Amino acid sequence: MFDLSFRKDIGIDLGTATSLVYVKGKGIVLTEPSVVAIDVETGRVIKVGREAQVMLGRTPENIQTIRPLKEGVISQYDVTLKMLQHFLRSACGPMLLLPRVIVCVPSGITEVEEKAVVDAAKNAGARSAYLIEEPVAAAIGANIDISTPEGHMVVDIGGGTTDIAVISLDGVVVSESIKVGGDKFDEAIVNYVAQKYNILIGERTAENIKMRIGAVYRHTEVRTMDVKGRCLSRGLPRYVTLRSTEMLEALLSPIMAIIDAICRVIESTPPELVADIIKNGIVMTGGGSLLMGFDQLIADMTGIRTRVAPHPISCVAIGTGRALERINSLTEGTVNFSSRPQNY
């Protein structure tokens, strides 16, 4: 008879940009970019995660770097499977018993997309797989008591999607998932630099710009960054100094798309819960919430106090890990907390 203490229950925040693995009893044990480098001719995986990310835009013809998740869902199943297998081995090592796994998914995915995630997790080595919506996991990870009959609004801005949800009594009352996130921010910066300075930069450079001087609200402490790229007219190397104040214009389109979605969710929320949200405020999670002044901008546009959760990047993974506490009462498929009230 096997000792079940050898079994590891695992929570996975399978993100478009970054994946995090939470092992019950240990916490977050792995944080890696969702990138895989493969040999084009043989299909062999060469590098996964951070080692593959540094190869983006730098590989010869026989090597391809792939981000197998797009806009929050699996776009290349076989590559995602290999990436998951690598993450599970790296996080858990040799396992006597196959683990049970909960995976985060955007709130707006289809049943077909849900099935693809469950199948990938099981084929990667999970004994059983369950799903949890990202805004629910984010709320749990942000230490919000979602079991009470009180409304809480969570805005989770990931790499591929932004998930907005109003949560009460362990369930999602109103939600919207839009395909706007960190990747769209990077794309907007690339386009801005190309249009204003006639310089082409890569996505890694755009991401560094976003992280170092990204801003979406007026500010007096201006940051600058020297950026190198290729002149679009002459084809020669060129550099320009960007200012954080320019990012307000560069990021305007994707930022307004998120704010519009937040307003739509508020408009669809029952009045009683709107009153709760006004009292409790809006909580932001995900890497996109770290853009300078984003919380202030949302507060100005909605009239509702807005704050960034502690540890916003790992909030979803932490919430998924805490959801493992009730895994014994779940059946495979999307986790429906509203039918199983329990405090965290």
Mind listing the pLDDT tens digit for each residue in 126-162?
Answer: 888 999 999 999 999 999 999 899 999 999 999 999 9
| pLDDT given for residue 333 in this prediction | 63
Q: For residue 279, what are the contacts with CB-CB under 8 A and spacing of at least 6?
A: none
Looking from the CA of 303 toward its CB, the CA atoms found within 13 Å total 4
The residue among 227 and 74 whose pLDDT is bigger is 227
Query: Does residue 26 carry a pLDDT above 60?
Result: yes
Q: Say if CB 35 and CB 64 are below 8 A apart.
A: no
Looking from the CA of 175 toward its CB, the CA atoms found within 13 Å total 21
Lateral strand order in the sheet of 224-231? 199-200, 224-231, 237-243
| pLDDT given for residue 340 in this prediction | 40
| pLDDT given for residue 343 in this prediction | 42
**Percent of the chain, pLDDT > 70?**
92
Q: How far is CA 246 from CA 78, 216, 219, 224, 283, in A?
A: 40, 9, 11, 10, 26
Mind listing the pLDDT tens digit for each residue in 67-100?
Answer: 999 887 888 999 999 999 989 888 877 666 788 8
- Average pLDDT value for residue range 302-318: 95
| pLDDT given for residue 331 in this prediction | 62
| pLDDT given for residue 344 in this prediction | 44
The residue among 304 and 40 whose pLDDT is bigger is 304
Q: What are phi and psi of 209, to 5 degrees?
A: -60, -45
Confidence band for 170, pLDDT divided at 50, 70 and 90:
confident
Tokens 């849900």, residue located = 114
Query: Does residue 339 carry a pLDDT above 80?
Result: no
For the chain, give the mean pLDDT.
89
Confidence band for 334, pLDDT divided at 50, 70 and 90:
low
Confidence band for 280, pLDDT divided at 50, 70 and 90:
very high
| Paired residues of 9 in beta bridges | 100
Query: Does residue 62 carry a pLDDT above 80?
Result: yes
- Average pLDDT value for residue range 98-123: 88
Q: For residue 111, what are the contacts with CB-CB under 8 A and spacing of at least 6?
A: none
- Average pLDDT value for residue range 49-53: 92
- Average pLDDT value for residue range 188-207: 96
Q: What are phi and psi of 314, to 5 degrees?
A: -100, 5
Structure tokens at 258: 């998120």
Query: Does residue 341 carry a pLDDT above 60?
Result: no
Query: Does residue 3 carry a pLDDT above 50?
Result: no
| pLDDT given for residue 5 in this prediction | 46
User: Between the ranges 35-44, 74-83, 292-301, 326-335, where is the mean pLDDT highest?
Assistant: 292-301
- Average pLDDT value for residue range 107-131: 88
- Average pLDDT value for residue range 30-56: 91
| pLDDT given for residue 299 in this prediction | 97
